[in-house]
Chain A
């Protein structure tokens, strides 16, 4: 892992006047499961298609083991890919589908047969080799597509929202399969999704895409605990934003005031802090403590607006003094909730490092 395995350098893609990808830079480690997470139109799929060779970047380079990939046509890149839509060859059986890349590579029949059996075992579809794609469920088809893409031992496997056509339960089941297959094969996976839960569940690291650039890259916990932009904070986990004023900032920590009265200090600040300017204070519902009386930490008084029971959690919506709403999530049965009802005055508390200020 000394030298980076796959390097994306300053990739830019324009379609006429539209810039789909602004400037994407990324280093991927060998064997890593890296997810491109972002809303549609953020450039994550375009970046993946450039890696596959279906699109050429307007600017930038992609290096695999130090050598550029861009001069190699798609069919010689030796990259595996699972698509969003079902792409099994409809006239071939499952076995023939998995054998296809091996036949193209002119491998011997014995080699192909044993590899097909091995791949079917990997995706747990032994006994299905003579089925036609049309006779299989969507989940099974995507598993065959995965087996076909891995059959020729590609150094990199691209996955473009492969589970988006499946229902939730099946999706979770196949997420486990993908995780297991990744651990078993140690293939490097670049995975595109717009589903944060999927990204968190699968990935070693997540690259959050927004408007054609990577806003932040890191492990799930890193992105959750230390979002560097408001977009990342909004996209990973739940969050509320309260407008505030920045009084001063020092060393990445800010002192802010809410409605000119309440003052908090030592809160991590991101962006370009300018004293006296407006900013947004981010708080996560599950990191706020709710009590009847004021405590020692940073506190806000609020009125209970609504209480929603969500199974294992209870969601309390409150209105704070400055007039904005703030949500608090507490585990079911938490003592603070018993007897709580709409209109009650409560006290909200949070630790400075659980909050963020975005300028």
Chain B
């Protein structure tokens, strides 16, 4: 091998230091916010003078926080279902279809991943105002769906490309109609892709803030928007508590996803 780790000599230690620093750089803000959420100081002083559960109690007894968490969950769930369904049919078209500009079409479907989110948010905002979808649940779902769909298409199309179509053909010759063969054979075989698509779609919507700020109304706001708005009004440790819970949920979801994916793939 060109680059053998064991033969790097003292470079090994340089690499080790760089790796540790990178990991610290990524983890520190998260650990910092978690520490602050348990700090007794009203003013987010670090290191905290004492420890308390008070901000969590306040968070969980505030109907506004609970309402925005529920809104986030509702939107993310609907987005997940729609994104997986649309991603599935789109992937079938992109992977199995034989038509002109197929690759161009695939690239088009992935543009929301690279397009600056704020540009997209402004465009949607202007459009939704005009058609009366601004500040509505449908508006939220549609805009998050656009952001989530590329992840869905990538996961499902990837799984479908790795699935030998002969297996589906075999099911058809066994007497299953083309639809039945897809439901009973192809879908279980690409279930790891479907699951990844669901997790990515949920998380895309769950922690999306830019588009959500444009979409939000006083009566309908998602958790990240609530965090952002609260931060602007007063700097309370409740925000740190909310953020910590958000992170915790994300980590739990990702861990679960990793385990399930491993089980599904084997």
Give the CA-CA distance A340 to B191 in the complex, in Å.
Answer: 69
Give the CA-CA distance A86 to B173 in the complex, in Å.
Answer: 15
Given contacts A85-B164, A89-B185, contact A104 B174 (CB under 8 A): yes
Q: Which of B13-21, B72-80, B120-128, B175-183 contacts A (4 or more CB under 8 A)?
A: B175-183
Instruction: Note all chain A residues with C-beta closer than 8 A to B58.
Output: none
Interface size on B (CB < 8 Å)? 21
Whether B173 pairs with A85 at a CB distance below 8 angstroms is no
Whether A100 pairs with B174 at a CB distance below 8 angstroms is yes
Closest to A76 in B: B175
Q: Mark A55-90, 1 if CB is under 8 A from B, else 0.
A: 000000000000000000111111111011111111
Q: Which of B139-171 contact A (CB under 8 A)?
A: 164, 166-167, 169-171
Whether A100 pairs with B171 at a CB distance below 8 angstroms is yes
Whether A104 pairs with B180 at a CB distance below 8 angstroms is yes
Whether B172 pairs with A75 at a CB distance below 8 angstroms is yes
Whole-angstrom distance from the CB of A115 to the nearest CB of chain B?
13
Given contacts A89-B185, A91-B189, contact A83 B176 (CB under 8 A): no
Q: Which of A98-143 contact B (CB under 8 A)?
A: 100-101, 104-105, 134
Whole-angstrom distance from the CB of A18 to the nearest CB of chain B?
14
Give the CA-CA distance A74 to B266 in the complex, in Å.
Answer: 31
A148 within 8 A of B: yes
Determine chain B's interface SS by DSSP, over half rule.
helix
Whether B175 pairs with A105 at a CB distance below 8 angstroms is yes
Whether B174 pairs with A90 at a CB distance below 8 angstroms is no
B93 within 8 A of A: no
Q: Range of interface residues on chain A?
A: 20 to 34
Whether B170 pairs with A145 at a CB distance below 8 angstroms is yes
Instruction: Note all chain A residues with C-beta closer than 8 A to B191.
Output: 91
Closest to B179 in A: A75
Whether B169 pairs with A87 at a CB distance below 8 angstroms is yes
Determine chain A's interface SS by DSSP, over half rule.
loop
Partner of A152, one of B172, B175, B185, B189: B175
Give the CA-CA distance A52 to B170 in the complex, in Å.
Answer: 10
**A52, A78, A87, most chain B CB atoms within 10 A:** A87
Partner of B169, one of A83, A88, A105, A152: A83
Instruction: Note all chain B residues with C-beta closer than 8 A to A74.
Output: 169, 172-173
Give the CA-CA distance A152 to B176 in the complex, in Å.
Answer: 13
Whether B175 pairs with A89 at a CB distance below 8 angstroms is no
Instruction: Note all chain B residues with C-beta closer than 8 A to A309.
Output: none
Whether B169 pairs with A91 at a CB distance below 8 angstroms is no
Given contacts A89-B189, A90-B189, contact A83 B170 (CB under 8 A): yes
A54 within 8 A of B: yes
Instruction: Note all chain B residues with C-beta closer than 8 A to A76.
Output: 175
Given contacts A89-B185, A89-B189, A91-B188, contact A83 B175 (CB under 8 A): no
**B171, B175, B191, most chain A CB atoms within 10 A:** B175
Instruction: Note all chain A residues with C-beta closer than 8 A to B177.
Output: 73, 75
Whether A81 pairs with B173 at a CB distance below 8 angstroms is yes
- A selection of 11 A-B contacts at a CB cut-off of 8 Å is A79-B173, A81-B170, A85-B166, A87-B166, A87-B170, A89-B185, A91-B188, A100-B176, A104-B176, A104-B180, A149-B174
10 closest Cβ contacts across the A-B interface? A101-B174, A87-B170, A104-B175, A91-B188, A87-B167, A83-B166, A81-B173, A87-B166, A75-B172, A74-B172
Binding site for A on B (CB under 8 A): 164, 166-167, 169-178, 180-181, 184-185, 188-189, 191, 266
